[in-house]
Amino acid sequence: MPIASLREINDAIRERLRERGLLADNETEVTALEQVDLTVAQKLDARHYPADCVLVFNRDLSGCIRGEQGKLIGITAKRLALELNGKVRHVPLARLDHINVCRERAIALSPGDRLQLKANSTSVEGRKLASGEVVSVAQIRSSGAIRLADGRVLPPHYRQFLRGYAVTSYGSQGKTVDHVLFSDSAIRAATNAQQWYVTISRGRKSIQIFTPDKQQLRQAIMRSGERELALDLVHARTRRYGVRQQVLRSVRRGREFARRICHGATRSWTAAFIKSRLKPTNEIRNEQTNAVVRAGVLAA
């Protein structure tokens, strides 16, 4: 499901909860960081970074601490440059997985609100914060720290979270609730047998499914979800062309081998022939020389 659609659903659910008085009246606006999903290749190109993006370190790297935030300056052939705490820092392109690309988004929070954490970290008291877990807000402190219902406190710099009333099927892994409402996105790539199992196994008592196309959903959940090999994506004609090229290469190598054998044999034969022809010539020359010597002796 697109992140924009998920955001709309969460906002609608929260508005209904407020209308029914299930959330506290006092609200505090905070700036959350919504992650921008970029591939490794896209992270190498500055054109894919939103103009207002925030780069957040998801682990320690070369003096940069996990959770620190910076602004993109540019990308060179070897490094990504960003401004962090008034200083220029460089991240090797091979370490771009150490940063998350995010966008700032203002959201209102009240005690009772549910959030889904989107980054691993530690709470103020040193307890683990796991990406994907859904938590409830108990208090928003003036310092910016957020106390959760389970007693943990999110640090003021920890802002990688979304509303947690509705989550993606992928994000629901490991969670179990009494009732599940599943909205099919009708996107073939988003639904397969593996993801379908994750979805329908989240509810203890019931699951309701909403889809615009039942037939398409049936076809989608029949797919295994296993990633296809590159060879499986090659057209049969392309495969035949590849086989033909391999045969031609083998023939060329065979011809080159035969040419070298013939060349070597020719050189050996030529050398032997020349040697055999030189021997009688030398003997003739010796006989002529001896004849001249004998004639000289007789004349004397």
Tokens 């602004």, residue located: 71
Tell me what pLDDT residue 221 has. Answer: 81
User: Can you give the residue ranges of every domain in the chain?
Assistant: 28-109, 237-300
Per-residue model confidence as pLDDT tens digits over 11-61: 999 999 999 999 988 999 999 999 998 998 999 999 999 999 999 999 898
Amino acid identity of 296?
A: G
The DSSP element (H or E) to which 6 belongs, if any, is helix 3-19
Beta bridge partners of residue 28, listed in sequence order: 109
CA neighbor of 166 nearest in space, from 30, 4, 7: 7
Tell me what pLDDT residue 215 has. Answer: 86
Beta bridge partners of residue 177, listed in sequence order: 203
Return d(Cα 295, Cα 8) in angstroms, integer.
125
Rg (CA), the chain: 39
The DSSP element (H or E) to which 248 belongs, if any, is helix 236-299
Return d(Cα 107, Cα 165) in angstroms, integer.
14
Return d(Cα 28, Cα 20) in angstroms, integer.
19
Tell me what pLDDT residue 297 has. Answer: 44
Tell me what pLDDT residue 124 has. Answer: 96
Tell me what pLDDT residue 100 has. Answer: 94
Give Cα separations from 210 to 1, 184, 192, 219, 292 (angstroms): 13, 6, 16, 16, 120
Tell me what pLDDT residue 44 has. Answer: 94
Tell me what pLDDT residue 293 has. Answer: 47
Return d(Cα 279, Cα 284) in angstroms, integer.
9
CB 172 within 8 A of CB 201: no
CB 167 within 8 A of CB 13: no
Which residue stretches of the chain have pLDDT < 50?
A: 281, 284, 292-293, 297-300
Give Cα separations from 32 to 26, 35, 212, 235 (angstroms): 18, 10, 32, 46
The domain 28-109: what is its CATH number? 2.30.30
63: left (phi over 0), alpha (psi -120 to 50) or beta: left
**pTM exceeds 0.85, yes or no:** no
